[in-house]
């Protein structure tokens, strides 16, 4: 940057500005910092879930489900329509509630999905 441009920039930054101008500058700086933080997270390897679905969410195939969840008919006796596939937990895997487990008559017993 040559000295003329630097002097112009220095005068603009040091000059008095209206409250509205100051507010616009602060808003633009805040937006820039927010966008920079989002990009920084991706640059550091923090991956977004990219739309992966959680347990009991409707699905068509297992690739849509997050983690070790699979896309099957979930335990539908009391909670869901039997014809709808949902992201659910396979038999033998850890669970908190029975409706998270895949299949009809599968319950959460002792913290694991098991056939009733």
More confident residue, 94 or 46: 94
**Alpha-helix runs per DSSP H in the chain:** 3-14, 19-43
% of the chain surpassing 70 pLDDT: 54
> By C-alpha distance, which of 87, 106, 90 is closest to 98?
106
Domain boundaries, the chain: 3-43, 62-115
Q: Average pLDDT, stretch 97-102?
A: 83
Give the DSSP H or E segment for 73.
strand 70-73
pTM assigned to the model: 0.51
The pLDDT of residue 10 is 66
> By C-alpha distance, which of 57, 59, 73, 81 is closest to 90?
73
How far apart are alpha carbons 28 and 20 in whole angstroms? 12
Question: Which residues is 108 bridged to in the sheet?
Answer: 113
Q: Average pLDDT, stretch 79-96?
A: 82
């Amino acid at each position: 940057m040559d000295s003329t441009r630097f002097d112009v920039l220095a005068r603009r930054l040091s000059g008095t500005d209206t409250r509205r101008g100051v507010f616009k500058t602060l808003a633009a700086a805040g937006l820039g910092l927010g966008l920079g933080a989002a990009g920084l997270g991706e640059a550091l390897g923090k991956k977004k879930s990219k739309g992966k679905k959680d347990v009991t969410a409707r699905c068509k195939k297992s690739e849509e489900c997050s983690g070790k969840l699979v896309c099957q008919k979930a335990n539908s006796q009391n909670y869901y329509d039997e014809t709808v596939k949902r992201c659910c937990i396979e038999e033998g895997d850890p669970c908190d509630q029975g409706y998270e487990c895949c299949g009809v008559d599968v319950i959460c017993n002792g913290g694991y999905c098991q056939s009733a």
